[in-house]
C-alpha cells in the first residue's frame, strides 16, 4: 500500500523525532525567543522596580457618621501603588488612592517606610503627586512617550495588588486613545488599554515598556471582564505634574453651566449651517458665572465656543482648558429659532466639588 510521503521512512524513528521535537528532526527551537522576551521583561524590571512604592492610606471610613459624631468614626486602611519620578522624593499615584487621606505611608522597594505629604491631586485625571523626605538620593523611574506607543507592543505592570507587594504582570498595549470616566464625572482622554492583569491595589503603579520606561499610570479595570485594564497615558501625567508644580493644582476654565448632550434636527443644522448635529442643552446657569454674565439662559443649546464645535458635554469640558482662563471667546448657541453669538470670558474653575454618587455627574459641566 502506498504511504504518504510524510510517513515514509519514519517508522523506526523515536516518537520525539517523529513529532519534530529533537534537533535535526525539523524542530523549531523557540527557546531563544522565549529567552529574549524574558530578558526584556527582567531588564525592564531591574530598571524600574526600585522606584515602585507601596502606599498605605488611613482615612475616615466610607459611610461613616456625619461630622459631630466622632465616636462613630473609625480609620479605614487602604492601599495602592505609586512610583518615584525624581531622586528627591516626588512620586506619582492615583487620586482615588489618596482621596480623603488623613495619613499617607509609603514603603519603598527595600521596605524602608516614610510618611508622605500630598503635594497636589487632580480627580479629573485621577492623578496625584506625593513627596517623601529622604536624606539620600532615591531611585526613580524614567518617563517614556505615550504618543509613540503602538498597539501590540509589550506592556509590563508593576504594583501591589490585593496587598501582594512587588507583583509583576505582562501583556501588550491592546488599544490606544480610549476614554474613561473619572470619579469627578469628567472624561479622561488618551487612555491606554492593556491586557496586563490589574487588580485592586495596582492603582497608581507604573505601566512600562520593554526598556523600563513608564508609559502609563495604572488606573482601572473592568471587574466583569477579563484582561481589559486601563492606564492613564504618561504624557497626560507629565502635563498634570507640571500644572501641580507650577500652581499647586490643575487649572481649567469654567463658565458655570450644567446640561446634557442633545441632538439637533437635520433641517435646523442645514438651515443655519451649523458645524454639527449635536449640542449642549443648558439645564442650569450658575448666578454670577461667566455664562450668566454672557446672557445664557436655561433651554439654550450651545453649538460652538471660540470657533470650535461643541459636540457634547465631554467636548465642552475638553475645550475648557487653562488657555481660555480670562480670555474673551465667542460663544455660539441656539435659542428657539435663532442663532446667537455672544462674548464670554471663562474664569478659573473653583475648588473641586464633591458628590455622593458618580452617575449624576455624567450630565454636569464645570
- Residues annotated as catalytic (active site), given as ranges: 96, 126, 203
Number of Cβ within a 10 Å radius of residue 115:
10
* Cell numbers that stand for 161 in this block: 495588588
* Rounded CA Rg of the chain: 27
Residue from 165, 228, 219 nearest 195 by CA:
228
Beta strands in 28-185 (DSSP E): 52-60, 75-84, 90-93, 103-107, 113-122, 127-132, 154-159, 167-181
* Cell numbers that stand for 200 in this block: 485592586
Secondary structure class of 245 (helix, strand, coil): helix
CA distance 213 to 347: 37
For the stretch 289-317, what's the b/e string if a residue is b when 16 or more beta carbons lie within 10 angstroms of its beta carbon? bbbebbebeeebbbbbbbeebbbbbbbbb
CA distance 312 to 278: 6
CA distance 269 to 20: 67
CA distance 190 to 176: 7
Please spell the DSSP secondary structure of 312-362, one letter per residue. SHHHHHHH-BGGGTT--EEEEEEETTEEEEEEE--EE--SPPP-S-SGGGG
Q: Which residues pair with 170 in a beta bridge?
A: 156
What DSSP designation does 17 have?
Answer: H
Number of Cβ within a 10 Å radius of residue 331:
23
Amino acid at each position: 500500500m502506498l504511504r504518504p510521503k510524510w510517513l515514509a521512512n519514519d517508522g523506526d524513528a523515536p516518537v520525539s523525532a517523529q513529532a519534530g521535537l529533537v534537533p535535526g528532526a525539523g524542530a523549531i527551537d523557540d527557546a531563544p525567543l522565549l529567552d529574549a522576551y524574558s530578558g526584556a521583561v527582567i531588564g525592564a524590571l531591574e530598571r524600574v522596580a526600585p522606584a515602585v512604592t507601596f502606599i498605605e492610606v488611613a482615612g475616615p471610613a466610607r459611610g461613616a457618621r456625619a461630622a459631630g459624631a466622632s465616636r462613630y468614626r473609625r480609620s479605614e486602611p487602604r492601599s495602592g501603588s505609586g512610583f518615584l519620578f525624581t531622586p528627591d522624593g516626588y512620586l506619582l499615584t492615583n487620586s482615588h488612592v489618596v482621596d480623603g487621606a488623613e495619613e499617607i505611608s509609603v514603603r519603598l522597594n527595600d521596605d524602608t517606610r516614610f510618611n508622605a505629604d500630598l503635594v497636589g491631586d487632580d480627580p479629573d485625571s485621577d492623578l496625584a503627586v506625593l513627596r517623601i523626605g529622604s536624606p539620600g538620593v532615591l531611585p526613580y523611574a524614567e518617563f517614556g512617550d505615550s504618543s509613540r506607543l503602538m498597539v501590540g507592543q509589550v506592556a509590563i505592570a508593576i504594583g501591589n495588588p490585593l496587598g501582594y507587594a512587588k507583583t509583576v504582570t505582562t501583556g501588550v498595549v491592546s488599544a490606544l486613545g480610549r476614554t474613561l470616566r473619572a470619579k469627578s464625572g469628567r472624561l479622561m482622554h488618551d487612555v491606554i488599554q492593556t491586557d496586563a492583569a490589574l487588580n485592586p491595589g495596582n492603582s497608581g503603579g507604573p505601566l512600562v515598556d520593554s526598556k523600563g520606561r513608564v508609559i502609563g499610570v495604572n488606573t482601572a479595570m473592568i471587574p466583569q471582564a477579563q484582561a481589559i485594564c486601563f492606564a492613564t497615558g504618561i504624557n497626560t501625567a507629565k502635563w498634570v505634574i507640571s500644572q501641580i508644580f507650577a500652581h499647586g493644582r490643575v487649572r481649567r476654565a469654567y463658565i458655570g453651566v450644567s446640561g446634557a448632550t442633545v441632538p439637533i434636527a437635520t433641517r435646523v443644522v442645514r438651515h443655519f449651517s451649523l458645524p454639527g448635529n449635536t449640542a449642549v442643552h443648558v439645564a442650569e446657569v450658575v448666578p454670577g458665572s461667566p455664562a450668566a454674565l454672557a446672557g445664557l439662559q436655561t433651554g439654550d443649546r450651545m453649538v460652538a465656543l471660540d470657533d470650535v464645535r461643541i459636540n457634547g458635554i465631554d467636548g465642552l469640558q475638553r475645550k475648557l482648558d487653562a488657555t481660555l482662563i480670562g480670555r474673551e471667546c465667542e460663544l455660539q448657541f441656539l435659542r428657539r429659532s435663532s442663532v446667537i453669538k455672544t462674548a464670554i470670558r471663562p474664569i478659573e474653575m473653583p475648588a473641586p466639588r464633591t458628590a455622593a454618587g458618580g452617575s449624576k455627574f455624567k450630565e454636569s459641566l464645570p
